[in-house]
Amino acid sequence: MPTTSHSGEVPARRKRADALRNQQTLLAAAAAVFVTSGVDAPIREIAARAGVGMGTIYRHFPTRADLVVAVYRHQVEACAEAGPTLLAGADSPLAALRQWVDLFVDFLVTKHGLANALQSDSSGFDALHTYFLDRLVPVCAQLLDAAVNAGEIRPGTHAYELMRGIGNLCVGRDSDPRYDPRRLVELLLQGLQRPQPS
Amino acid sequence: MPTTSHSGEVPARRKRADALRNQQTLLAAAAAVFVTSGVDAPIREIAARAGVGMGTIYRHFPTRADLVVAVYRHQVEACAEAGPTLLAGADSPLAALRQWVDLFVDFLVTKHGLANALQSDSSGFDALHTYFLDRLVPVCAQLLDAAVNAGEIRPGTHAYELMRGIGNLCVGRDSDPRYDPRRLVELLLQGLQRPQPS
DNA sequence: ACAGTAAGCGGAACAACGCTCCGCTCTGCC
DNA sequence: GGCAGAGCGGAGCGTTGTTCCGCTTACTGT
């Protein structure tokens, strides 16, 4: 019998070999295209790059967000797991938070248009927003709480809001020398530190 | 001969009455549509609302940015002029800066998709980005300098970067109760106040 | 008043893209 | 070897941006 059988709602027949192959090919193609054309690249372009039809891409990844999530899942996961690690290894919770935010910003900045897509309210990107935030907000909250408990930053800031703010700061035309998201994120963190509005 | 004649490079014939009328109609229609459908509304929708053909809209406003700028010119101008006024009337330069930023945020938040368009790197919005920033950055710089000179905030922050940061914080899906751009902008200003990273 | 001119207008037409749908192919199983 | 159906490809539809050209009409000079 297949690996899953007894009492399962879904029979879960094993996927066909060619389907699995196509899925991998698509992921590789998408990753390559995202680098050159951003995450908004035309579906046709990705399909062509992978040498498959568009039907195939839509079957494996019904929405654009599904594809983006699949491509970046590993990196998001790594970022999420880095949270507790940094907290354990850093000099202070605030230092850990700072390092973790750096990681997140690096991730967003190096993926063309990802930050835009993350905040976009256009259809098809909802799942992206959801996945990223569901995965990373708890991690951020843990770091935030630790820093608050250590008295290093003021309480009252929600992790969700902070994450979205950081993401937003990374949005925009790439490589404008006059705009460096990192400096503004740093400013945001400084604002967190201030105990009272003076 | 027409009104202007001697030595002028351009004859500058007076515009036809119907052209002027159409331009006004278009501005009104665009303003109305922007409220309901955002600044990304289909050109056709605006043309239909104004009761004109698409050729007309493209003749009067070659790029989308031209139309957006024309619609919001008054408000941008008002915001720009409020800078010196606030500086003169407020208790302190920092208070003035804070009030001015509030004005700017209100403006962005109430126009669906404007903040997005401002930062977007897609073609057609370059002029928008340019106009807004050319007009408002000097005003912001003046307020910033005054606050620095008064010793209320640390030096080293560029007005351009701050403006883009604020604009970016206003980007995103509208009216998510968990995300309030104002709180994050406030955090940014708090960060500005901090004299040294402690 | 009126005819000539060109500024201005409308919308058909083309291109790019997202997404769907259905006839065909090929895999896995007996 | 043959069969069922999972999987595939890409034609085709709807939407939007943008251009282009023949027609309309507001001004001008007489």
* Chain A residues with CB-CB distance to B160 below 8 A: 178-179
Model confidence at A196: pLDDT above 90: no
Question: Is A198 part of any domain?
Answer: no
A32-58: pLDDT as tens digits: 999 999 999 999 999 999 999 999 999
Nearest nt by C1' to A122 Cα: C18
Same domain, A176 and A85: yes
Per-residue DSSP letter, A170: T
Residues B93 and B28 in one domain: no
Residue A166: CATH number of its domain: 1.10.357.10
155-184 of A, contacting B, C-beta below 8 A: 157-158, 160-162, 164-165, 168-169, 171-174, 178-180, 183-184
> Residue B188 and residue A188: Cβ atoms within 8 Å?
yes
Which of B129, B171, B179 is nearest residue A171 as measured by Cβ atoms? Answer: B171
Say whether both B151 and B77 belong to one domain. Answer: yes
State the amino acid at position A190 in one-letter form.
Q
Contact B22, B52 (CB under 8 A): yes
Q: Look at residue A2 and tell me whether its pLDDT is greater than 50.
A: no
Q: What is the predicted pLDDT for the residue at B89? A: 96
On whether any CB of chain B is under 8 Å from the CB of A92, the answer is no
B56 & B74 share domain: no
pLDDT tens for B69-86 read 999 999 999 999 999 999
**Residue A171 to residue B173, Cβ atoms within 8 A:** no
Instruction: Give the C-alpha distances (Å, rounded to integers) separating B196 from A93, A144, B154.
Output: 19, 21, 8
Which of A126, A115, A111 is CA-nearest to residue A164?
A115
Residue A19 has pLDDT above 80, yes or no: yes
Burial of A55 per CB tally in 10 Å (0-12, 13-18, 19+): exposed
Please indicate, yes or no, if residue B135 is contained in any of the structural domains.
yes
Q: Is the pLDDT of residue A127 over 50?
A: yes
- A37: nt with nearest C1' to CA: C17
Q: pLDDT digits over A148-161, tens only?
A: 999 999 999 999 99
Q: pLDDT band for A122, please (50, 70, 90 cuts).
A: confident
- DSSP assigned state of B176: -
Q: Do A165 and B171 touch (CB under 8 A)?
A: no
Domain count, chain A: 2
Query: What interhelical angle do A93-109 and A159-169 show, nearest 10?
Result: 40
Task: Say yes or no: A108 and A154 in one domain.
Answer: yes
What pLDDT, on the 0 to 100 scale, is given for residue A10?
52
* B76 and B129 assigned to the same domain: yes
CATH at B44:
1.10.10.60
A28 and A97 part of one domain: no
Within-domain flag for A1:
yes
Shared domain check, A120 and A168: yes
Cα A145 versus chain centre, distance: 21
Dig out the tokens for A24 from the structure: 């991998």
Is residue B71 left, alpha or beta, with left meaning phi > 0 and alpha meaning psi from -120 to 50? alpha
pLDDT for the residue B173: 77
* Mean of per-residue pLDDT scores for chain A: 91
Residue B3, pLDDT score? 37
> Both B187 and B146 in a single domain?
yes
Q: Do B68 and B52 have their domain in common?
A: no
Residue–nucleotide distance: A45 CA to C18 C1' (Å): 12
- Give which of B37, B109, B121, B189 to mutate to test A binding, by max A Cβ within 10 Å: B121
Structural domain harbouring A184? 64-193
A56 touches strand D (CB under 7 A): yes
Which of B31, B61, B91 is the endpoint of a domain? B61
Query: Do A80 and A16 share a structural domain?
Result: no
- In this predicted model, what pLDDT tens digit does every residue of A62-118 receive, in sequence order? 999 999 999 999 999 999 999 999 999 999 999 999 999 999 999 999 999 999 999
* Residue B198 belongs to a domain: no
Interface probe with A: pick from B161, B170, B175, most Cβ of A within 10 Å: B161
Residues of B within 8 A of A163 (CB-CB) are none
- Cβ <8 Å between A119 and B171: yes
Shared domain for B168 and B76, answered yes or no, is yes
Using the 3D structure, point to which of B61, B77, B102 is the last residue of a domain.
Answer: B61
Q: What is the pLDDT of residues A163-175, one digit of tens each?
A: 999 999 999 877 7
CA atoms within 13 A on the CB side of A109: 17
Q: What is the rounded distance in angstroms from the CA atom of residue B126 to the CA atom of residue B20? A: 26
Residue where a domain stops, chosen among B61, B80, B95: B61
Residues in chain B with pLDDT values less than 50: 1-8, 197-198
Residue A48 has which token pair?
């062509």
Q: How far is the CA of A175 from the C1' of C15 (A)?
A: 30
